Structure 1
């Protein structure tokens, strides 16, 4: 009986050691799990730091010096005012392209504040023409040099509702005050587009089939096939210009 009691004492001692080792084993396993997690997070941190460095380098390339930005907007302002003058609008100090909002202004009001359709069209065309001219001067190297204009004759005083076929579902109504009724103005618009087409691809979409001015400009401007335009854009994408 005494021997059995002594064995029980040893068994209890062994069980105690086993339990202790089991707890220590669990602690070691948890430590290993935490260690692997730390290694995983350190690897992730290293990868993220690499991405941050790459983004910082990309951001640095995107940052434009104030002097260069001033040069660009000086060029844009000059050409924007020049085109507005060609369209018979006064181009004073209140007519400019905002360097913070990147939108054109005329007489102190932005393109979003004016209501006259004719004025808005002239502002937009002057704005786009100024951007295209800056591309030629090297200020917009990423611009593809392609401009598409839709319903150009809408505000040119040439689109009349009685000229549209009766079966036309959508009738475009333009009030007289919104029309550009001066022949010299829309003649100047065509001249401007012809000038721009020398170095850029200009595409005009117009549903007014009887607009003689639109047909004439299409005849005078050099045209490229859609395939040529697509190839041009694809080449620029491949070279990462845009």
Structure 2
């Protein structure tokens, strides 16, 4: 028997209609999404391409309701980052740190991954360029590695954001903060507090969007989980 449209949406969003989801959105939330899609004529699942698109939309809706973001290429952020980076001296003059403190996690409390790195979607890069860690607003955010702050301000879709140019040349972007605790030009060590989590900019709920870039520009992102794991910090 062919599944109805509501059941299709529930299935795509990871729901078994006979059992509640363990965490995240409620069944009422999902049914509301399904009803909205049906009413707007947006529910079309025809063939692999249509199914992939529906899966992407459903995954986005599920993560967004839990504290996710839709940030992609944002000209305001990129311009501010380039300006700040060019105006900030290199951080390689920092004194060496103890190996065990070279890299660390950005959060000290329990978090939930509300959107994974690399999820396909309509972003300019074709995928989610960071990882979203859902935590209550005001949770302390720490630098994952030592470096120099090249951006600490409101930055378009990224909201209140801090970008640290790390010693290995990578850039760590911490977005959607409710509060920024550092200034451009400040030198930070691994574990230093740089701000507090929030939902500023293009965000649907409180979380930390952590993005690691191999270079300054958008599209040079790397998997933050793998990047940190190779350096002894496992998200």
Please give the TM-score of this superposition, normalised by the length of structure 1: 0.26
Is the strand fraction higher in 1 or 2? 2
- Name which structure has the greater RCO, CA cutoff 8 Å, separation 6+: 2
Q: Return the structure number with greater helix share.
A: 1
Q: TM-score when scaled to structure 2?
A: 0.27
